[in-house]
Amino acid sequence: MTTPVLSVRNLNIDYIGAETDFHAVKGVSFDIAPGELFGLAGESGCGKSTIAFAVSRLHRPPALIRKGSQILVDGRDVLTLDDAELRKFRWREVAMVFQSAMNSLNPVLTIEDQFYDVLRTHTGISRAKARTRAAELLKLVDISPDRLSAYPHQCSGGMRQRIVIAICLALNPKLLIMDEPTTALDVVVQREILQRIDVLRKQLGFSVLFITHDLSLMVQVSDRIGIMLEGELVEVNDAQTIYRAPQHAYTRKLWASMPRLHGTQITGEVTP
Amino acid sequence: MSDAPILALDNVSKIFGRADNPLYAARDVSFALHSGRTLALVGESGSGKTTAARLIMREYFPDKGQLLFRGAPMGKADSKALKAYRSSVQMVFQDPFASLNPAHTIHYHLDRPLRLHQRGLSRAQRRAAVEELLQRVKLDPGQLMAKFPHELSGGQRQRISIARALAVNPQVIVADEPTSMLDVSVRLGILNLLNDMKRQLGLALLYITHDIATARYVAEDIMVMYAGQIVEWGDMEAVLGNPQHPYTRLLLSAVPDPDRRFSEAGAELDQIETIRRQSALPQPDIRQVADNHFIRPMP
């Protein structure tokens, strides 16, 4: 078996409070293989974003990653990296697309400058070379290179989201983390973007950790899915099993709560 | 559909922008709301769904066409007529975090519509009415009345918004994306509540959403809107089972569906731009597909 790109082992994360701590992630372990699209699903507050933040080491106090937790990217423990190593690690090995990422572009810089910012910091290449690379990256996400001179407010929400994805791919990361990347977008735009991601990950070979609360969407795009409930990973299975033969009672409950587009409608009775 | 509609839009257009470059937020929109039925209005952002809601709520006045309430056209009504209208037509908003006043208790939120619209009630009667409203939306009055919105969950707040709309004994409720900010398990509770209200109180509901699966759960009829026009409408199962307008097909093929992998994409997804451009053009003709199923064919 090939080494997994991401291997999370016994991850425990607490949010430290004045009186009590909140145990947000409880002993979570999972692997993501090279080129795999792994989905993490669950309702608000179940700890899915907390895991994503831990993998890119973005947590600050009061979040505390407990001793004994391991996050291995390509065999190296992310939790032991020092600041200099961390700077090299982020973007080059793991890049992250945030929820409402389309609002994370700097409003006073052109699209080209935002690419240059990343490329200069991480590779130190010249302005002209950065421009060529940025144009290439934009083409990957179906945006015309004319847009390089545009400002974020001149682009639609879907376009901005695709630009953020292109910037994330600038250094050929091994793992792309996407935390609810299309929640704020329309279904048609959402479909365009995810279809593009699906093509790109097969073409470029990166893995994806995809986080969403939309289970139907997740079954469509993911290879394997993990279902989270109150900080625990209660079921991990391939996407079709999660849909057709869910093993955990909570997974079944989630499906029973989701109105169907075709066929027999759900009964509307869910035992809590 | 034999009974007369409570509320109807008749060929309504709403135009923004200057005369030389008009933007039709609603173009020749016609539909009717019937008691005990839910009509779903679906479409993407910017398609004009909320404009339709605002036209019904009298926040916008039609530039063309008219709004009919119980068969009578509503002009630029005086404040008294408007108040009577408001006690018949109520709205539930999308964001349960923004639509309640953070400085007031739950009791205040439900007491106020009663004070404004049912002047005859005594304080004790109003209190009893508030308790009844909370029970109707399946919340515990004893526990919640004195609380403030920030002490409630999103689902509880949306139930308060529904209770507030019900306080004036309306005949029509316009719900604009009432569940889009809620988790799946909470969402189902709100959808069930809307269904119960419709059946028990005989309300006419306009359910505005971009989520077609939830629309199918609560509504008997559906309208698909794009660029200010209703491009396809009719019986829910007829439209979803046999979509005729290219835009409806595009929308349906993009909706997350666990039965279809991405590789099995429909032909519509290869022509997104063409379909969008064509669907935005004026489509004046109406073609009947089935008994209760219509489209405006693309020119």
The pTM assigned to this predicted structure is 0.85
Average pLDDT over residues B26-44: 94
Contact A268 B217 (CB under 8 A): yes
List of chain B residues whose C-beta atoms are within 8 Å of the C-beta of residue A260: 213, 216
Q: Tens digits of per-residue pLDDT, B85-121?
A: 988 999 998 888 888 999 999 999 999 999 988 888 9
* pLDDT > 90 fraction of chain A, expressed in percent and rounded: 42
Amino acid at B133: L
Average pLDDT over residues A37-60: 89
- The C-alpha atoms of residue B98 and residue A79 are separated, in whole angstroms, by 39
Q: Which of B183, B213, B251 sits opposite A213 (nearest CB)?
A: B183
Q: Tens digits of per-residue pLDDT, A247-260?
A: 999 999 999 988 88
Look at residue A264 and tell me if it is in a domain.
Answer: no
Average pLDDT over residues A172-178: 92
B192, closest residue in chain A (CA to CA): A268
- The C-alpha atoms of residue A46 and residue B250 are separated, in whole angstroms, by 33
Please give the structure tokens belonging to residue A206: 């990166």
Q: Which CATH class is domain B7-88+168-295?
A: alpha beta
Chain A residues with at least one Cβ partner in B under 8 Å: 43-44, 186-192, 194-195, 198, 213-217, 219-221, 243, 253-254, 257-262, 265-266, 268, 270, 272
Average pLDDT over residues B129-139: 92
Look at residue A261 and tell me if it is in a domain.
Answer: no
Task: Tell which of B45, B47, B94, B188 to mutate to test the A interface (max A CBs under 10 Å).
Answer: B188
Core vs surface per residue B191-222: b (16+ CB within 10 A) or e: bbbbbebbeeeebbbbbbbbbbbbbbbbbbbb
**pLDDT classification of B195: cutoffs 50, 70, 90:** very high
Core vs surface per residue B273-290: b (16+ CB within 10 A) or e: eebbeebbeebeeeeebe
Average pLDDT over residues B133-158: 90
Look at residue A88 and tell me if it is in a domain.
Answer: yes
**A100: CATH:** 3.40.50.300
DSSP for B96-160 reads TTTSS-TTS-HHHHHHHHHHHH-TT--HHHHHHHHHHHHHHTT--HHHHTT--GGGS-HHHHHHH
The answer, yes or no, to whether residue A20 has pLDDT greater than 90, is no
Q: Tens digits of per-residue pLDDT, B3-26?
A: 789 999 999 999 998 888 888 999
Range of A128's domain?
Answer: 6-256
Look at residue A226 and tell me if it is in a domain.
Answer: yes
pLDDT for the residue numbered B21: 85
Instruction: Look up the ipTM and state it.
Output: 0.79
3-state SS of chain A: helix, strand, coil percent to 5? 40, 25, 35
The answer, yes or no, to whether residue A272 has pLDDT greater than 70, is no
Number of domains within chain A? 1
Contact A254 B259 (CB under 8 A): no
3-state SS of chain B: helix, strand, coil percent to 5? 40, 25, 35
- The C-alpha atoms of residue B268 and residue B248 are separated, in whole angstroms, by 10
